[in-house]
Structure 1
């Protein structure tokens, strides 16, 4: 997140100095440079190889034996993601309020900076108080932010909303992966993380399509209200249905 914030800040500086005349193709070309540098550095990373004898089977063969909390959380993830449309809608909302491209990019920088600053503190809190409490707080924060985007009329309030959106990201991005790892079978941790990412991927496309249709049919407020409601539903499911105690994970 810190890298994203720095990259976006550089974009903001370039756009500000160009007074709106900056070529976006050049901007994307410049962004290739740090990507290539990161790839080169990665080539020097040595991975520690562990030789373990693990019987590999398709996870669906033992799906009925998976932890009930794990299966529930995968459902919650899908429900929440259906309302979590692309960040492009947040940018479009800010742009529709008359902000310049540079100012919109600055707000997105504020979001990334907020997420970077608070990710470790909220990760520590999840270690101390439990993953579910932080995730529920994150979903509720998301709902508040989306309700805010639905009714906002003051550009100054947008600044606060983007900070809060960063808080939501800090509360959920790492914590949800930690939760998946903890309640997954020992021999399927990577697979379950991949499955969760797959579910998110399947939900993201219709999420943005639904948001676009709602925006066109009912106005800019509609997709944000829709996302806020689904987020509160996801928080409710975690609070009411997801138990603290879970089954013993499948053994290797």
Structure 2
């Protein structure tokens, strides 16, 4: 039991909240591109929708993250953020017009922006520099476990009721409400408010100017990569375009998340032992292999192998990146640091999704995925050699 002493009450609660929220969201995520195409969305419009929704999250993550630091409060941001995301699910069942779908996705992403910095700061506060990889890895595993259950529910639903997407949006509200209930069990740890003033909404990324150089180097490289890392919806659309059935496409997404669940926590342990740099570089190389491979893939076996490798990429980068960056900033600025990174990443996702949609329609999917693979190789080469502050990096051996 002692070996898992880092799994505190707060870590468990936050992980369960994320599990139920992701269960709700991931019931819909693999279905959304199929549903949007059924109501008349083109590939470019799907990219635009996903990009705008992520931009809303991006503009709010940095702002609410540094607001949380300023107040020394985390839990209210977590409660309201998960509440908005739960509310967005039944909204999608009301109307099938593009404007309404955009509004529902925006409400969902605003909730994500409201909670992300505060939640990640709570997780960081529960860990030491030597256990952050484990804590964030465990949280990502639990979060992604919901992403296994959610698509499984969607798959069973569509097997029994083909083409009936909208009732799923009402069903997804149930686990969202459960997540909200668990947030009321969270308790604040005493925390000193940040002396930094809360910047206006449009200047909420001001932390970047005062961030340590090592933070800017790592975050900057990852943000360059994010400019080429478009929504996973494009991977699902490509599999569908190559002849796979709706059920097979959702099955691929379940496989991806299952691999993610099984590997995120062990890879978090590995990051604490070997250092996060090695894990991130390896993950980016896996991404390059996946995106280079899908441009040529045909048939279920090829796509299954690539989606499994994609799960390893996600497990070795998402939680590990947060753990690394949280060790490259002052504790009082953790919310702003992680919120700023997540926010800028969402803005990069807007450009990535818009660019991917336009490139797909203009030149074909091979260019869309091939360019992303080349970018991942370049960023991995930079991170493998990037100079970092020795005393900061040594906190994670």
The 3-state SS of whatever aligns with 1:135 is helix
Q: Could you tell me which residue of structure 2 aligns to residue 243 of structure 1?
A: 388
The TM-score, its normalising length taken from structure 1, stands at: 0.90
How far apart are the structure 2 equivalents of 1:208 and 1:51? 38
Structure 2, unpaired ranges of 5+: 1-143, 200-204
Q: Could you tell me which residue of structure 1 aligns to residue 31 of structure 2?
A: none
Q: Tell me which of 341, 344, 364 is aligned to 1:199.
A: 344
- TM superposition shift of 1:154: 3.1
Q: Could you tell me which residue of structure 2 aligns to residue 35 of structure 1?
A: 176
- TM superposition shift of 1:236: 1.2
Structure 1 residue 222 corresponds to structure 2 residue 362: no
Q: 1:61 to 1:142 in 2, by over 3 A?
A: closer
- TM superposition shift of 1:228: 0.7
How far apart are the structure 2 equivalents of 1:51 and 1:219? 51
Structure 1 residue 71 corresponds to structure 2 residue 193: no
Q: 1:188 to 1:51 in 2, by over 3 A?
A: closer
How far apart are the structure 1 equivalents of 2:208 and 2:250? 46
Count of residues in correspondence between the two structures: 244
How far apart are the structure 2 equivalents of 1:246 and 1:224? 38
How far apart are the structure 2 equivalents of 1:167 and 1:247? 26
- TM superposition shift of 1:246: 5.0
Q: Could you tell me which residue of structure 1 aligns to residue 66 of structure 2?
A: none
How far apart are the structure 2 equivalents of 1:52 and 1:206? 37
Contact 1:68-1:247 at 8 Å conserved across structures: no
**Superposed, which structure 2 residues align to 1:135-154 within 5 Å?**
135-154=280-299
- TM superposition shift of 1:153: 2.3
Structure 1 residue 95 corresponds to structure 2 residue 95: no
Q: 1:244 to 1:157 in 2, by over 3 A?
A: farther
**Superposed, which structure 2 residues align to 1:153-232 within 5 Å?**
153-232=298-377
- TM superposition shift of 1:245: 1.4
Contact 2:192-2:332 at 8 Å conserved across structures: no
- TM superposition shift of 1:8: 0.8
Structure 1 residue 2 corresponds to structure 2 residue 145: yes
Q: Could you tell me which residue of structure 2 aligns to residue 113 of structure 1?
A: 258
How far apart are the structure 1 equivalents of 2:253 and 2:236? 8
Q: Could you tell me which residue of structure 2 aligns to residue 13 of structure 1?
A: 156
Q: Could you tell me which residue of structure 1 aligns to residue 129 of structure 2?
A: none
- TM superposition shift of 1:227: 0.8
Q: 1:121 to 1:62 in 2, by over 3 A?
A: closer
Contact 2:244-2:299 at 8 Å conserved across structures: no
123-132 vs 71-80, which moves further: 71-80
Q: Could you tell me which residue of structure 1 aligns to residue 188 of structure 2?
A: 48
Contact 2:280-2:316 at 8 Å conserved across structures: yes
- TM superposition shift of 1:243: 2.9
Q: 1:54 to 1:103 in 2, by over 3 A?
A: closer
- TM superposition shift of 1:244: 6.1
